[in-house]
């Protein structure tokens, strides 16, 4: 058996970073991951909030933050240092860090010969009008522009041919994954009437908002409640538009916060160009995803539910067609921390290094 991959994770203290660490620890082709913290601050936050804490002996240990890891040795959080990572022979660096941190670290990682899977939104967007929402201030604008163009949007079901050779993978957003996978077959087949507008009504569990507590994610605000946010301004809108090759005026995307820990359900409303049979719609979806391991297409009229995809790397798709044959409702579900983040990151890693796509994910 070939030598195991050596990987490092920066940002393991957040929800997505922790899920990523758990998957990597059980992956049969990956050595025990090197867990990192930013050397300049013990209190640096990762992509899903959260901050490392020191144990009684002065060391940082992930098991102190997530006791579920206890009983199987320690999980030290080492300071990020490029020479040390090269000495350890790290093949791949996962970044579960805030967008602006990933924006600054990826050029350094590439300059040090590392390949990167970035779970933030730092490198997902090619078009400046969409990327402007992040307000990045790049120290080296030329290098940032070059990496932006070379970074591959890591949705394996759409870009599986580009991922194996990529140096930088921009892991997709959680909401964006459900909407893109729900719409891509229809748009490729030319069935959707974009002039009549597409509506994506998406709902996510609280973990999607990150580990750092806010007034919106406080128990009192979330429990027994359902709220919309980021209407017309959510950063995943640009991702959806770019990957589906539509304009942001052709789709209305509204995210909502559900009072559950995890999971996403997106209900997508589409007008079709002509009267269509349900069998034709189902055939379009099954043909598009016939070789895609982690998309499950439900037989109409059965629809996905959040509970079906929880704790898996699947995106589940189903639909209902109106009696007029021209109004279509698509339901797309996933676990936002796995297919929407950590699992998809490992799926990308598998493709980058020539492993079976499902390795470590089933």
Instruction: Write the DSSP string, 260-328.
Output: SSS-EEEEEEEEBSS---HHHHHHHHHHHTTT-TTEEEPPTT----HHHHTTSS-EEEEEEE-TTSSEE
Reference 10, options 98, 87, 70, 89; nearest CA is 98
- List, by residue number, the catalytic residues: 174
Q: Name the one residue in this structure whose structure tokens are 């748009």.
A: 187
pLDDT score recorded for residue 169: 98
Determine the Cα–Cα distance for residues 168 and 353; give it in Å rounded to an integer.
13
pLDDT score recorded for residue 102: 98
Domain 7-172+341-352 has CATH 3.40.50.720: yes
pLDDT score recorded for residue 57: 44
E strands, the chain, are 7-10, 34-37, 77-79, 92-95, 115-118, 152-153, 168-170, 198-204, 227-228, 251-257, 264-271, 295-297, 315-321, 327-334
pLDDT score recorded for residue 50: 44
b/e 270-288 (16+ beta carbons within 10 angstroms → b)? bbbeeebeeeebbebbeeb
Enter the pTM of the model: 0.94
Tell me if 199 sits within 8 A of 182, measured CB to CB: no
CATH number for the region 174-336 comes to 3.30.360.10
CB-based contacts of 158-166 (< 8 A; 24+ apart in sequence): 158/184, 158/243, 160/351, 163/348, 163/351, 163/352, 164/351, 164/352, 164/354, 166/115, 166/352
pLDDT score recorded for residue 55: 41
pLDDT score recorded for residue 1: 52
The domain ranges of the chain are: 7-172+341-352, 174-336
Residue 87: Cβ-neighbour burial (10 angstroms; 0-12, 13-18, 19+): exposed
In whole angstroms, how far apart are CA 99 and each of 133, 246, 341?
11, 24, 14
pLDDT score recorded for residue 70: 86
Positions of the chain with pLDDT lower than 70, given as ranges = 1-2, 39-59
């Amino acid at each position: 058996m070939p030598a195991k991959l050596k990987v490092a994770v920066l940002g393991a203290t957040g929800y997505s970073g922790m899920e990523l660490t758990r998957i990597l620890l059980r992956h049969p082709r990956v050595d025990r991951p090197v867990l990192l913290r930013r050397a300049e601050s013990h209190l640096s936050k990762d992509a899903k909030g959260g901050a490392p804490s020191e144990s009684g002996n002065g060391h940082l240990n992930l098991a102190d933050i997530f006791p579920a890891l206890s009983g199987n040795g320690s999980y030290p959080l080492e300071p990020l240092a490029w020479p040390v990572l090269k000495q350890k022979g790290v093949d791949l660096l996962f970044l579960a860090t805030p967008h602006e941190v990933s924006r600054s670290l990826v050029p350094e990682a590439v300059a040090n010969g590392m390949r990167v899977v970035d779970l933030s939104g730092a490198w997902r967007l090619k078009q400046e009008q969409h990327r402007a929402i992040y307000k990045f201030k790049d120290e080296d604008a030329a290098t940032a522009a070059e990496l932006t163009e070379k970074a591959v949007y890591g949705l394996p079901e759409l870009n599986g041919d580009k991922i194996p050779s990529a140096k930088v993978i921009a892991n997709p957003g959680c909401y964006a994954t459900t909407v893109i996978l729900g719409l891509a077959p229809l748009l490729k087949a030319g069935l959707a009437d974009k002039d009549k507008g597409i509506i994506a009504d998406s709902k996510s569990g609280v973990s999607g908002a990150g580990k750092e507590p806010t007034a919106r994610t406080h128990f009192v605000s979330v429990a027994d409640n359902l709220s919309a946010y980021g209407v017309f301004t959510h950063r995943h809108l640009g991702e959806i538009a770019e990957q589906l090759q539509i304009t942001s005026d052709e789709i209305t995307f509204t995210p909502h916060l559900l009072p559950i820990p995890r999971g996403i359900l997106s209900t997508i409303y589409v007008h079709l160009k002509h009267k269509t049979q349900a069998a034709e719609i189902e055939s379009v979806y099954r043909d598009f995803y016939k070789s895609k391991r982690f998309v499950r297409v439900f037989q109409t009229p059965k629809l996905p539910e959040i509970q079906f995809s929880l704790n898996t790397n699947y995106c589940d798709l189903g639909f209902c067609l109106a009696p007029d044959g021209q109004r279509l409702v698509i339901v797309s579900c996933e676990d936002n921390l796995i297919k929407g983040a950590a699992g998809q990151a490992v799926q990308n890693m598998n493709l980058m290094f020539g492993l079976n796509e499902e390795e470590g994910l089933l």
